[in-house]
Amino acid sequence: MIIDERIVTEAIAGSFFEKFKSCIDLDVAIVGGGPSGLTAAWRLARAGRNVALFERKLSIGGGMWGGGMTWTSIVVQNEAKGILEEAGVAVSEYKPGYYTADSVAATAALAYQATKAGAHVFNCTSVEDVVLREVDGVRRVIGLVVNSSPVEIARLHVDPLVLHCRYAIECTGHDTEMLKTLVRKNDVKLNTPSGVIEGEQSMWADVAEANTVRYTQEVFPGVWVAGMAANATFGSYRMGPIFGGMLLSGVHVAEAIDALL
């Protein structure tokens, strides 16, 4: 076979832009490709929803690749073990109720399951703003403003593109970046005790793990928070390299939004 470079170029441009065009009107847009975002993408796509995930970095996976302190092992508790197993990851019991898994295998498996189920993943794509509208007298996020990460990193003056979605999920982790932008640029009140982002507290794994699921909520019309962003939004604690709460939060947000759609 003689390889024609023009066909390679045309194939990439054609298939990418078909993928991008199919995401202009999404059921769900996920911001951040860590474990909570990937799990949510997997479950929503599996439920037949048109879902896209936007990740600033070239690699999806967020804080999961590195395990604890770059030691590539993660821990999950009893309640979340089944999610990893369903994704095809080998887990082994370390002590009753505590399971370990290879962090690279776990991250790769979640990414594989999400894309295999039909989630559209856009890595190297930063969410720089939201689209806010009044719908039936209520202000609501109805879309995302996205740009190429190299444009953002190089601080080039290039305008972004806009996608609409019925729900957006804030999965940007500790930084709650998308929610910070929503609050900073608009006079809005969140569904938190203070009406703003409460901010994350120091380490308390036990409480934080339960709160990750408990605070996986719609925090503003059209915007759900999941994963570490849920903890930071509602003023809960960090938990370190135990990842069950992230996976359970991803499943929970997917089920809740799927029920609303």
Task: Please report, as ranges, the residues that interact with ligand 48F according to CB under 6 A.
Answer: 31-37, 54-57, 62-64, 126-127, 171-173, 175, 177-178, 227-229, 238-243, 246
10 Å CB burial of residue 62 (0-12, 13-18, 19+) is: buried
Task: Quote the tokens at residue 192.
Answer: 């938190």
Pick 89 or 242: Cβ nearer ligand 48F: 242
Least separation, in Å, of the C-beta of 169 and ligand 48F?
10
Least separation, in Å, of the C-beta of 123 and ligand 48F?
9
Least separation, in Å, of the C-beta of 36 and ligand 48F?
3
Pick 101 or 171: Cβ nearer ligand 48F: 171
Distance of CA 199 to the CA centre of its chain: 19
Least separation, in Å, of the C-beta of 14 and ligand 48F?
25
Pick 52 or 242: Cβ nearer ligand 48F: 242
Residue 119 near residue 51 (C-beta atoms within 8 A): yes
The tally of CA atoms less than 13 A away on the side-chain side of residue 60 is: 31
Pick 142 or 173: Cβ nearer ligand 48F: 173
Residue 252 near residue 209 (C-beta atoms within 8 A): no
- DSSP readout, 227-244? THHHHHHTT-EE--SB-H
Residue 245 near residue 210 (C-beta atoms within 8 A): yes
Which residue(s) pair with 133 in the sheet? 140
Pick 27 or 227: Cβ nearer ligand 48F: 227
Least separation, in Å, of the C-beta of 32 and ligand 48F?
3
